[in-house]
């Protein structure tokens, strides 16, 4: 029988696992720091003031569904142990101390001196370039070290005991086909999202092209949003360890542009969530009236992409259209986030409509999106980057109406 953890039995579980002593009793020492949609989290403070974060996957109670996400984080931890060149990257240094595959429970050290970057931005309303630079450098270090390295790819292909892994999941997915059952799960106002999405042939075509051209070539986080990045409370006084990347449940062998695009979308959400939205106001006017203007985010966004390219300049030789693909993946990430909000919030409002319009623009007109989002051209972004041999930009096919194209529900390598 699968053990279900709660604040009442978590201390006992940790004692039996040898992670705490008998001095840690079952008193009120645990709290819920906010669980994800797939995991339940318990934050436990032990007698020596050490803190542990205990995660358990929700679907572990469903015998028909095999838990996989926490196994992926455990696999990533094992990867860092196996390959010290990765483990020495301080921002991704291993935190996991225990994994119980049978009960799908993972325990990791809790970093009390750090706070979520999303919380930091919200509370301080400042966007220091030093933090963005640290993130870009760290992410580039991970991608560069694992790029086209078979030993890392083979390691990430490890499957849970008794299972097989035939390929890596392609995250470049559009909206799934919908049927009559949607009327029982989605409120009426949220149906407008699916209507607007399906009315845009160019949007579905752009996502289908992204999925077709998805190039898994290095280790990727795959869920790199601001809530999965920690910043040190004394970041101004530190020369290193400013940030930590956490929650590696979705990590896999993937496309580096997807990581940067997902992160860029998380920055754009700060801007888009602050829009002044009214039916009488045009979209462009709403974008300019945002309480957090895009201009206040652009220095950090530019610092992020330049730091990444400075640390991994060869990516521009591997993919000459890299920045354009980052912009497109940012648009796709915004669409995924709208879907998540519909699932959690059961609503779709005018702000979400604006977000969908911005996402569509980034996906279907990425060259224009580069200038809009960064505030400078692609050549200006690349100017300060070290000497890099740039390949010619790929020639785009004429924008003709397709009689047939691959749908966006593509999976596989």
Predicted confidence at residue 63, as pLDDT, reads 46
Integer angstrom CA distances of residue 250 from 16, 72, 103, 220, 222 = 29, 7, 19, 9, 6
Fold of 19-109: Phosphorylase Kinase; domain 1 (3.30.200)
Predicted confidence at residue 409, as pLDDT, reads 45
| CA–CA distance, 76 with 220 (Å, rounded to integer) | 10
The residue written with tokens 């400075």 in the block is: 310
330, 403 Cβ separation under 8 angstroms? no
8, 109 Cβ separation under 8 angstroms? no
> Would you call 105 helix, strand, or coil by DSSP?
strand
Which long-range contacts link 361-368 to residues 24+ away (Cβ below 8 Å)? 361/331, 362/327, 362/328, 362/330, 362/331, 362/334, 363/203, 363/206, 363/207, 363/210, 363/328, 363/331, 363/332, 364/202, 364/203, 364/206, 366/324, 366/325, 366/327, 366/328, 366/331, 367/324
| CA–CA distance, 262 with 172 (Å, rounded to integer) | 11
Low-confidence ranges of the chain (pLDDT < 70): 1, 24-37, 59-67, 162, 164-166, 179-181, 183-184, 386-413
The CATH number of the domain covering residues in 114-382: 3.90.1200.10
Predicted confidence at residue 142, as pLDDT, reads 97
Predicted confidence at residue 241, as pLDDT, reads 82
Integer angstrom CA distances of residue 210 from 105, 144, 157, 175, 402 = 35, 22, 23, 14, 16
| CA–CA distance, 206 with 91 (Å, rounded to integer) | 34
pTM: 0.87
Residues with Cβ within 8 Å of residue 248, at least 6 apart in sequence: 72, 73, 76, 77, 221
Work out the burial of residue 386: count CB atoms within 10 Å of its CB; fewer than 13 is exposed, 13-18 middle, 19 or more buried. Answer: exposed
Predicted confidence at residue 115, as pLDDT, reads 95
54, 6 Cβ separation under 8 angstroms? no
Predicted confidence at residue 166, as pLDDT, reads 60
Predicted confidence at residue 198, as pLDDT, reads 83
Q: The dihedral of CA 139, 144, 147, 151: what is its sign?
A: negative
| CA–CA distance, 34 with 15 (Å, rounded to integer) | 23
| CA–CA distance, 110 with 31 (Å, rounded to integer) | 13
- How many beta carbons lie within 10 A of that of residue 405, not counting itself? 13
Integer angstrom CA distances of residue 4 from 10, 16, 91, 171, 249 = 9, 15, 32, 30, 20
159, 167 Cβ separation under 8 angstroms? no
322, 316 Cβ separation under 8 angstroms? yes
**Residue 164, both tokens:** 């097989």
Look at the chain and count its residues: 413
328, 262 Cβ separation under 8 angstroms? no
Predicted confidence at residue 389, as pLDDT, reads 46
Q: 262-277: string of b/e by CB count within 10 Å (b at 16+)? A: bbbbbbbbbbbeebeb
| CA–CA distance, 271 with 268 (Å, rounded to integer) | 5
| Domain ranges within the chain, ordered by starting residue | 19-109, 114-382
| CA–CA distance, 310 with 302 (Å, rounded to integer) | 12
Predicted confidence at residue 24, as pLDDT, reads 66
């Amino acid at each position: 029988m699968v053990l279900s953890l709660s604040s009442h039995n978590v201390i006992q579980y940790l004692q039996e696992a040898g992670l705490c002593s008998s001095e840690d009793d079952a008193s009120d020492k645990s709290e819920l720091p906010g669980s994800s949609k797939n995991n339940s989290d318990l934050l436990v403070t032990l007698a020596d003031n050490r803190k542990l974060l205990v995660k358990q996957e929700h679907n572990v109670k469903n015998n028909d569904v095999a838990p996989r996400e926490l196994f992926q984080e455990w696999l990533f931890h094992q990867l860092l142990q196996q390959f010290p060149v990765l483990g020495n990257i301080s921002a991704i240094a291993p935190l996991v101390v225990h994994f119980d595959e049978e009960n799908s429970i993972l325990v990791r050290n809790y970093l009390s001196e750090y706070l979520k970057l999303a919380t930091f931005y919200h509370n301080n309303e400042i966007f220091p370039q030093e933090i963005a630079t640290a993130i870009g450098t760290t992410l580039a270090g991970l991608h560069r070290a694992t790029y086209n390295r078979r030993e890392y790819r083979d390691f990430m292909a490890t499957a849970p005991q008794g299972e097989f892994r035939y390929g890596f999941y392609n995250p470049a997915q559009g909206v799934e086909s919908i049927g009559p059952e949607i009327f029982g799960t989605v409120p009426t106002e949220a149906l407008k999202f699916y209507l607007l999405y399906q009315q845009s042939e160019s949007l579905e075509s752009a996502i289908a092209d992204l999925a077709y051209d998805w190039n898994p070539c290095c280790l990727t986080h795959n869920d790199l949003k601001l809530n999965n990045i920690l910043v040190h409370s004394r970041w101004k006084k530190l020369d290193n360890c400013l940030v930590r990347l956490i929650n590696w449940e979705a990590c896999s062998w993937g496309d580096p542009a997807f990581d940067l695009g997902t992160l860029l979308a998380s920055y754009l959400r700060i801007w888009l969530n602050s829009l002044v939205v009214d039916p009488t106001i045009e979209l462009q006017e709403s974008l300019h009236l945002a309480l957090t203007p895009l201009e206040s985010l652009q220095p950090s966004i530019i610092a992020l992409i330049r730091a990444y390219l400075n640390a991994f300049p060869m990516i521009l030789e591997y993919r000459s259209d890299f920045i354009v693909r980052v912009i497109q993946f940012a648009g796709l990430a915004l669409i995924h986030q709208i879907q998540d909000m519909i699932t959690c919030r059961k609503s779709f409002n005018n702000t979400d409509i604006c977000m969908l319009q911005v996402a569509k623009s980034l996906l279907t007109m990425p060259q224009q999106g580069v200038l809009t989002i960064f505030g400078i051209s692609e050549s200006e972004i690349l100017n300060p980057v070290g000497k890099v041999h740039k390949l010619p930009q790929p020639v785009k096919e004429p924008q003709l109406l397709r009689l047939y194209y691959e749908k966006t529900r593509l999976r596989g390598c």
